[in-house]
Amino acid sequence: MSGTGIGWGKLILCGEHAVVYGHPAIAFAVDLSTRVTLTRRPGPTAVAGCPSDARLTAALHEVLEPTGWGVRLDSTLPIGKGMGSSAALAVALVRARAELEGRSLDADQTYAQAMPCERVFHGNPSGLDVAVSARGGCIRFTRGTPPTLQPLTPGRWRVVVLDTGAAGDTAELVAGVAARRPGVEPVLQAIGALVERCCGHLDDARALGPLLTENHRLLGKLGVSTPELDDLVALALDAGALGAKLAGAGGGGVALALVDDTAGADAVLAAAERAGVPALACRPAGVPS
Ligand code: PMV
């Protein structure tokens, strides 16, 4: 007997880091995910499908007893790249256990049960990644117990994800921003205000793009961008993207470029290929295309 659960990956359109301090953020699920398959087995809980480390073991133990489980992980998500791999794992894990035990979980229950696991990875997560991973689609999120969620309908734009090739440590980056408070408070406020403006332009990529580029500039002021991320943003804008920014905690990971159609995506993908940058095009998952 086995139980299987899936968690979506995500991209943050606008508002990362400020969301930790109660400002709103917009994020959407992408068509990349983590699948967990659980079986019962005698002896210590054993993991297959990815290298096990102390943090993964501690995270698994938030949901599973230290003995008696076989855990198989299959993921199409890059790890540590700002695409929500740890939240997808947490969501997939609680869903797999529920399926194995014949329980059904709604999105709120999934969120509540997955958050302790996400805390092991991130220390002080806003909950944004887990909320998007559990629900899919595109949401406006404000931290809270429970968080405030508003489903959003994005326009027909798409994004190109450009990979620095380096991983960022979300817990470290979030702690770094915390250490720079209260000096960075005005920057966090400005990011929150930008998110409100993005909500009004979600169906208009030409208006949305410059707001995302401004978000990147503010994330630079927060100290979470890197020269490599700045270069990817410049590459995307030079190739005709309507806007571009780092996505996720920063310190490495990915940048996203906003384009309004396939031709726009192809132009950014071609520029990325010429520069030897791994890239992929995607749309918000779970919304009409
Ligand atoms: O890098 P990711 O995918 O783990 O995203 C982190 C987003 C932050 O806003 C920086 C942290 C959070 O908990 O919301």
Q: With a 6 A CB cut-off, is 249 part of the ligand 1 pocket?
A: yes
**Do 90 and 182 fall within a single domain?**
no
Tell how far the Cα of 83 is from the centroid of ligand 1, in angstroms.
9
Residues 137 and 238 in one domain: no
Position 288 scores a pLDDT of 46
DSSP annotation of 18:
G
| Catalytic site positions | 129
Within a domain: 289: no
Same domain flag for 163 and 147: no
- Do 49 and 119 have their domain in common? yes
* Structure confidence at residue 182 (pLDDT): 97
Name the domain boundary from 117, 152, 187: 152
The finding on whether 81 has its CB within 6 A of some atom of ligand 1 is: no
Two structure tokens written together for 25: 């953020």
CB 248 near ligand 1, within 6 Å: yes
**Is 98 part of any domain?**
yes
Same domain, residue pair 65 and 167: no
Question: 145 and 189: one domain?
Answer: no
- Residue 186 within any structural domain of the chain: yes
Last residue of a domain, one of 125, 152, 179: 152
CB 34 less than 6 A from any atom of ligand 1: no
Predicted confidence band of residue 53 (pLDDT cuts 50, 70, 90): confident
Q: Is the CB of 16 under 6 A from ligand 1?
A: yes
CATH number of the domain at 103, please.
3.30.230.10
Q: Which domain holds residue 183?
A: 158-282
**Domain CATH code at residue 212:** 3.30.70.890
- The residue to mutate among 19, 164, 170, 246, having the most atoms of ligand 1 within 8 angstroms of its beta carbon, is 170
Residue 72 exposed, middle or buried by CB count within 10 Å (0-12, 13-18, 19+): middle
Name 138's Cβ contacts closer than 8 Å, sequence gap at least 6: 13, 26, 27, 28, 29, 151, 152, 153, 154, 202, 284, 287
In this prediction, residue 289 carries a pLDDT of 42
* Pair 166, 200 in one domain: yes
| Ligand 1 mutation target, pool 10, 11, 17, most atoms within 8 A of CB | 17
Question: How distant is the alpha carbon of residue 229 from its chain centre?
Answer: 16
Residues 83 and 181 in one domain: no
Are 126 and 242 part of one and the same domain?
A: no
Same domain for 141 and 226, yes or no, is: no
Residues 80 and 191 reside in one and the same domain? no
* Domain total in the chain: 2
Helices (H), 67-169: 85-100, 107-122, 128-135
pTM of the model: 0.94
Span 67-92, pLDDT tens digits: 999 999 999 998 878 899 999 999 99
User: Domain check: are 90 and 191 in the same one?
Assistant: no
Binned at pLDDT 50, 70 and 90, residue 50 comes out as confident
Q: What is the mean pLDDT of residues 119-146?
A: 94
Q: Is residue 64 part of a domain?
A: yes
**pLDDT at res. 18:** 98
pLDDT at 286: 64
Compute the chain's Rg from CA coordinates: 18
The mean pLDDT value for 18-47 works out to: 95
Residue 148 within a domain: yes
Q: What is the pLDDT of residues 135-159, one digit of tens each?
A: 999 999 999 999 999 999 999 999 9
> In this prediction, what percent of the chain has a pLDDT beyond 90?
88
In a domain, residue 120? The reply is: yes
Q: Which pLDDT does position 287 carry in this prediction?
A: 56
For residue 258, what pLDDT is reported?
A: 98
Residues 160-171 pLDDT 10s: 999 999 988 988
Q: Specify if 287 maps to a domain.
A: no
Q: pLDDT tens, 200-251?
A: 999 999 999 999 999 999 999 999 999 999 999 999 999 999 999 999 999 9
Which residue among 124, 152, 180 closes a domain? Answer: 152
Alpha-carbon dihedral angle through residues 134, 51, 31, 98, given to the nearest 10 degrees = -30
Residue 288 lies in a domain: no
